[in-house]
Structure 1
Amino acid sequence: MADRQKRAWVVGASSGIGRALALKLVDEGYLVAASARNVEDLNLLASETDGAIRPFPVDIRDGEAVGRTVADIEETMGPVDLAVFAAGIYLRDEPDRFDADLVAKTAGVNLIGTSHCLDAVLGRMVPRRSGHVAMIASVSGYAGLPGGGVYGATKAALITLAEAIYPELKEKGVAVSVINPGFVQTPLTDQNDFPMPFMISAEDAADRIVRGLKSRRFEIAFPKRMVFLLKLLRLLPYPLFFAVTKKMLRADRV
């Protein structure tokens, strides 16, 4: 693997978009450090390549463990050129039975866990004045949608965070991207019991993400029709906005 000069760290690589992305980056010539909590799934992923993917299991809710993992990656593989944070959870919320623990669990992975990853890699990339970090948020971060308020809030926070750190990090030589997918067929969406328009495969999502990362675009969002509709929804005045989102309520919740 000595001929692989680029190194990527993919968090959330045990399934879904993260897994597909790790394999796609191997095709693009990267040596990939793959992280997730599930050791068995990581080892299975690593076995699908000839040493181009190396497992580094970690629970991103543990900031100190994340720091040690990044140190281990760079010690054994070299400096991380690209870090993609794809780990995330979705737990459907029900406002009439609001659960603060659900908020804490979701934010603990989607927002705090991602911030632990940023902390660990930016502390190394900024002094080198090189690197690229990408956070997987969601088109659900564009607007508050019934059933996805907590999940969407964490993804909106990631979008805002990416927007805020982009200008200064660009001046310091570090690129920032935010990835906003629509519905992608993954274990996360398999639990949904409602229509999911414009669904794409994890492999298709990985292809689109890699194309965006190559061009160092700030926002990598897809599919275009869903992105357009949700961004348009966000522009509506609230009476019209709520008239649309009311139609998204499940029949058993009305």
Structure 2
Amino acid sequence: MSMQKRVWLTGASSGMGLAMAELLAKQGHRLALTARKAQPLLELAERFPGQILVVTADITDAHAVREAAERIGAAWGALDLVILNAGTCEYMDLPEFDAALFARVMQTNVQGTVQCIEAALPLLRAGSRPRLVGMGSSVTYVPLPRAEAYGASKAALRYLFQSLELDLAQFGIKVSLVSPGFVDTPLTAANDFPMPMQVSSDKAARAIIQGIERGKREIRFPGPFISLLRLIGSLPASLRVSLTRRLARPANTSGGS
């Protein structure tokens, strides 16, 4: 991105978000950074004086999101790039299906994202060569055990952004979806299972920004891992299920009702 852009980045306080914020700041862009935790954003703003607008907000709070967009609009009048990176992940452990867990994940990953889209679109329509970027996941290529909530939320985002690409074309707004594999972040640090071909947050950030610069519709990485998942997802259902169900944990039914 050779031209200086006005960028709104959510989930910017850690992991891929913080790595992207630092990379974009080094490239000279003006950044509006949103997260629930202000301190990492303020520390980055001190390193890049005059470039960073710190806009703390919980994306599940519609009022806070609207206020954040209003602050950005008052400061800059428009946005050229919006990267909706904020999200969460929780895994389901059957036989107890946890509807509250499902609701939490959907509230953050889906509802939080669409609230940001609603707030960002007027600013993007006023921007220069605007682009909207959403954070999907490689989990959408093949159903996996324990990922009922997380996978469903990311599948919803895939459909959402693919539909938005069609409807936003008339306004000159491009749309990209990021589909990463395992990335080393504070969120994945809590995972209690192997994460093959995991990449660092810095490497993920570079892949995302390069993909945006190249105008990619979907930004996928790491390549070998994505290819493997897509291959498994393309298999006949009986074979795909036979392979992936081996990853499921034996149910702990002791004491269950």
Q: What is the TM-score of this pair, normalised by structure 1?
A: 0.93
Q: Which amino acid aligns with 2:160?
A: L
Partner of 1:216: 215
Could you report, residue by residue, the CA deviation over 1:189-227 in whole angstroms, capped at 9, with x for unpaired residues?
000111101111000001000111011111001001111
Q: Provide the secondary structure at the position in 2 that maps to 1:8.
A: strand
37-46 or 156-165, which moves further after superposition? 37-46
Counterparts in 2 of 1:152 and 1:135: CA distance versus 1, 3 Å: same
Matches within 5 A, 1:147-226: 147-226=146-225
**Would you say the 8 A contact 2:60–2:108 is kept in 1?**
yes
Q: Which amino acid aligns with 2:187?
A: L
For 2:47 and 2:195, the matched residues in 1 are separated by 30
For 2:154 and 2:75, the matched residues in 1 are separated by 32
For 1:160 and 1:152, the matched residues in 2 are separated by 12
Cα offset, 1:170, TM superposition: 1.9
**Would you say the 8 A contact 1:141–1:154 is kept in 2?**
no
Could you report, residue by residue, the CA deviation over 1:141-179 in whole angstroms, capped at 9, with x for unpaired residues?
222100112101101111111111112212320010000
Q: Which amino acid aligns with 1:171?
A: Q
Q: Provide the secondary structure at the position in 2 that maps to 1:167.
A: helix
Could you report, residue by residue, the CA deviation over 1:221-251 in whole angstroms, capped at 9, with x for unpaired residues?
1001111111112111211111111121235
Cα offset, 1:130, TM superposition: 4.5
Q: Which amino acid aligns with 1:160?
A: Y
Partner of 1:99: 98
Query: Is residue 59 from structure 1 mapped to residue 58 from structure 2 by the alignment?
Result: yes
For 2:19 and 2:65, the matched residues in 1 are separated by 22
For 2:252 and 2:46, the matched residues in 1 are separated by 45
**Would you say the 8 A contact 1:11–1:18 is kept in 2?**
yes
**Would you say the 8 A contact 2:60–2:111 is kept in 1?**
yes
Q: Provide the secondary structure at the position in 2 that maps to 1:20.
A: helix
Equivalent pairs, count: 251
**Would you say the 8 A contact 2:80–2:127 is kept in 1?**
no
For 2:188 and 2:138, the matched residues in 1 are separated by 14
9-18 or 165-174, which moves further after superposition? 165-174
Matches within 5 A, 1:75-94: 75-94=74-93
Partner of 1:242: 241
RMSD of aligned residue pairs (Cα, Å): 1.8
Query: Which residues of structure 2 form unaligned runs of 5+?
Result: none
233-242 or 129-138, which moves further after superposition? 129-138
Could you report, residue by residue, the CA deviation over 1:70-113 in whole angstroms, capped at 9, with x for unpaired residues?
11112113411100011111111113111111011001110000
Counterparts in 2 of 1:94 and 1:197: CA distance versus 1, 3 Å: same
Q: Provide the secondary structure at the position in 2 that maps to 1:247.
A: helix
Partner of 2:18: 19
Q: Provide the secondary structure at the position in 2 that maps to 1:203.
A: helix
Partner of 1:47: 46
Q: Which amino acid aligns with 1:23?
A: E
For 2:250 and 2:190, the matched residues in 1 are separated by 18
**Would you say the 8 A contact 1:43–1:55 is kept in 2?**
yes
Q: Which amino acid aligns with 1:98?
A: F
For 1:122 and 1:54, the matched residues in 2 are separated by 19
Q: Which amino acid aligns with 2:152?
A: A
For 2:198 and 2:250, the matched residues in 1 are separated by 22
For 1:39 and 1:128, the matched residues in 2 are separated by 26
**Would you say the 8 A contact 1:7–1:79 is kept in 2?**
yes
Q: Which amino acid aligns with 1:74?
A: G
**Identity level (%):** 36
**Would you say the 8 A contact 1:22–1:53 is kept in 2?**
no
